A = this chain, B = another copy of it.
């Protein structure tokens, strides 16, 4: 019998999405950092929807501080709204926990969630609690609505051959701690979409080796990357920078005509956050960097 382990996450998604009805509006639906809902031409703003889950022993260890786990659960979703050029609004929190979970742990988790919502001007709209059988992993599922100005929406699919590929910050080694207390790059995306026109964007959650091919495929492009330009985290090699995942940095592309102005303006505006040009999109079929084989797949490893 074929299991999820045999086919992996992306192939599973390809198989199941056609089994449920989709909106007839082509802008809407699965396949990007968030789903996009168009309330109609009378509105300057589009609605964004996102859901994301943290599973014990997959996304956090039982001994991780609950407050940081809560922060991470909300911040991952904020990062996805940022990746579309948007902002978060209302959150729904689902907790699936064993009856033996200490009340204090859940309160700390919620304090961390609350700190993240407060920082990014979002609110708690509701939630759900369920027990899980004894011995099952705890799970925190976060669903949220967001909003984006119609003119500022950036999809994964807008890249063109020749566009320059950028990443923010440093990649790899997130497991050393950053994965629990990262700051979603929403300050940067707010500024970026207001002043420039990124052609495609996503946040790096599964590692550059997994996420860049996704962005390129959505844009119907290939890509070339100069491995020497990939900004590795201190103490982290190229393999980690490509394959570790959970960087929550931005990956975006921009037409060559805007690149010089962007690089100059960025260095003045964000002195403490590196911006790296790592390569460019190509016509489909170009040879990707041979090293870009890493990245996280939920079911095949």
Q: List residues of chain A with CB under 8 Å of any chain B CB.
A: 1-7, 9, 12-13, 15-17, 19-23, 28-31, 34-35, 37, 47, 49-53, 55-59, 90-94, 96-104, 106-107, 110-111, 113-114, 117-118, 122-133, 135-137, 139, 141, 143, 145, 298-300
Q: Which residues of B contact A20 (CB under 8 A)?
A: 91, 93, 110, 113-114, 117-118, 123-124
Known: A35-B92, A141-B51. A298 touches B129 (CB 8 A): yes
Q: Which residues of B contact A107 (CB under 8 A)?
A: 15-16, 19
Docked pose: A127 CA to B35 CA in angstroms? 9
Docked pose: A141 CA to B117 CA in angstroms? 21
Docked pose: A139 CA to B133 CA in angstroms? 11
Docked pose: A99 CA to B12 CA in angstroms? 11
Known: A3-B99, A125-B28. A16 touches B132 (CB 8 A): no
Known: A19-B111, A131-B299. 14 other contacts (CB 8 A): A3-B101, A15-B106, A17-B124, A19-B110, A19-B114, A20-B118, A20-B123, A22-B123, A23-B90, A28-B125, A51-B143, A128-B141, A135-B136, A141-B143
- Closest beta carbon of chain B to A58's beta carbon, Å: 6
* Contact yes or no, A100 B5, CB < 8 A: yes
- Closest beta carbon of chain B to A80's beta carbon, Å: 10
* Contact yes or no, A117 B21, CB < 8 A: yes
Docked pose: A151 CA to B132 CA in angstroms? 39
Name which residue of chain B comes closest to A113, CB basis: B20
Name which residue of chain B comes closest to A131, CB basis: B298
Name which residue of chain B comes closest to A143, CB basis: B143
Q: Which residues of B contact A47 (CB under 8 A)?
A: 145
* Contact yes or no, B2 A103, CB < 8 A: yes
- Closest beta carbon of chain B to A133's beta carbon, Å: 5
Known: A21-B117, A21-B123. A53 touches B133 (CB 8 A): no
Name which residue of chain B comes closest to A98, CB basis: B4
Name which residue of chain B comes closest to A141, CB basis: B141
* Contact yes or no, A51 B94, CB < 8 A: yes
- Closest beta carbon of chain B to A44's beta carbon, Å: 13
Name which residue of chain B comes closest to A36, CB basis: B125
Docked pose: A300 CA to B7 CA in angstroms? 39
Name which residue of chain B comes closest to A51, CB basis: B92
Q: Which residues of B contact A99 (CB under 8 A)?
A: 3-5, 298-300
* Contact yes or no, B58 A126, CB < 8 A: no
Q: Which residues of B contact A59 (CB under 8 A)?
A: 130
Docked pose: A48 CA to B153 CA in angstroms? 24
Top 10 A-B pairs, shortest CB-CB distance: A143-B143, A35-B126, A20-B114, A35-B125, A20-B124, A5-B99, A19-B110, A51-B92, A131-B298, A16-B110
Q: Which residues of B contact A12 (CB under 8 A)?
A: 103, 106, 129
